[in-house]
Amino acid sequence: MSERLDVRKTYKLVINGAFVRSESGRSYEVRHAAGDFWANVAQGSRKDLRDAVRAARAAQAAWWKATAYNRGQVLFRLAEMAEARRDELAAHVAAAEGVDAPSAASSVARGIDRIVWYAGWTDKVAQVLGGANPVAGPFFNFSLPVPSGVIGVLAPQDSSFEGFVDTVLAPLATGNAVVAVTSERRPTPALLLAEMSVTSDLPAGVLNVVSGLTGELGPTLASHEDVDGIDLEGAGEHHDELAASAADSIKRVRRASAGDYAESSTSRLRSFVETSTVWHTIGR
């Protein structure tokens, strides 16, 4: 037992690149999987989410207009930050998910490798998902994947780090801005990654992370008119009503899936891109 008393951390939300307590002033108690007290975490409000959406909308265009190469570098930088804090992340994953230390360490390793995977995708999606179309006429016609815009993510409830990484990095890699709601009972690994994102040259507002009650925050995210798409991976019992509410603004909805967060598939990358097709005349 150390004689020294720990310096404990206050876990805050990340909105527009700043660490903020919930504007509501609320917090909630998060426990170890084993049941002991772990931390008081900011309990984000609907207003926090709306602020986050506004920040995301403001940041998205510049993130998309940055070169794909640059976006890849920034996301790779996030992996570097996470790599340096692997042990801390693993301790949080072990506590949050109730898995043993080696399992937690390999989960974190897979999550970091997943960040690297997505970092490498930024400058390849246009070639893999886009292309030239041989139309029957004197036109140069090409299709490009462009971001849907602002994406809401209800991160998986179970997989506190890997699941968060997979659901959040995919829309970021394709040029979207993200407002993510963490796992309700296991928020701290996601909040740690959010901290790292602030020191990874990710422009403020591109990734906003809010902890809180999924049942309270989900409906706001699903019904928000300025959110273009929503990932319902962690929606749980509210899944179908949120999917219905998303219909009001014709949101792109990714339904909860089987929960393989290391799959070698472009499925998540394709969930929040739009194919934009340009026809240009050819002539002398």
Partner 1 sequence: MAENELATPPLGTFGYDPAPESSTIARLRESYGLFIGGDFSDAASHEQFATLNPATGAPLASVAQANASDVDRAVAAARHAYDTVWSTMSGSERAKYLFRIARIIQERARELAVVETLDNGKPIRESRDIDIPLAAAHFFYYAGWADKLEHAGYGSSPRPVGVAGQIIPWNFPLLMAAWKLAPALAAGNTCVLKPAETTPLSALVLAEILQQAELPPGVVNIVTGDGAVGAALVDHPGVDKIAFTGSTEVGRLIQRRVASSAKHLTLELGGKGANIVFDDAPIDEMIEGIIDGIFFNQGHVCCAGSRLLVQETIADEVLRRLVRRVEQLRVGDPLDKNTDVGAINSAAQLARIHELANAGEAEGATRYASSCVLPENGFWFAPTIFANVSSSHRIAREEIFGPVLSVLTFRTPDEAVAKANDTNYGLACGVWSEKGSRTLWVAERLRAGVIWANTYNRFDPTSPFGGVRESGFGREGGRHGLEAYLDV
Instruction: Provide the token pair at 232.
Output: 């319902």
The residue type found at 2 is S
Helix or strand run (H / E) with residue 147: strand 139-147
Select 24 or 141, whichever has its Cβ closest to partner 1. 141
Q: Which residues bind partner 1 (CB under 8 A)?
A: 128-129, 131, 133-137, 139, 141, 143, 148, 228, 240-241, 243-244, 246-250, 252-253, 255, 265-267, 270, 274-281
Nearest approach in angstroms of CB 267 to partner 1 is 6
Label residues 261-281 b or e (16+ Cβ within 10 Å = b). beeeeeebbbbbbeeeeeeee
DSSP notation for 154-184? E--SS-TTHHHHHHHHHHHHTT-EEEEEPPS
CB of 61 to partner 1, least distance (A): 9
Q: Which of 129, 124, 178 is nearest to 150 (CA)?
A: 178
Rank residues 129 and 198 by Cβ distance to partner 1 and give the closer one: 129
**Cβ-based nearer residue to partner 1, 18 or 135:** 135
107 or 148: whose CB is closer to partner 1?
148
* Smallest separation (angstroms) from partner 1 to the CB of 238: 11
- The least CB distance from residue 75 to partner 1, in Å, is 22
Q: Are 93 and 108 in contact (CB under 8 A)?
A: yes
Closer residue to partner 1 (CB): 29 or 240: 240
Q: Looking at beta carbons only, is 34 or 132 nearer to partner 1?
A: 132
Q: Tell me how far, at minimum, the Cβ of 60 lies from partner 1, in Å.
A: 12
Q: How many other CB atoms sit within 10 Å of the CB of residue 164?
A: 29
- Residue 97 CA to residue 104 CA, distance in Å, equals 8
Terminal CA-CA length for the chain? 82
Extract the tokens encoding 87. Answer: 């042990």
Nearest distance from C-beta of residue 101 to partner 1, angstroms: 35
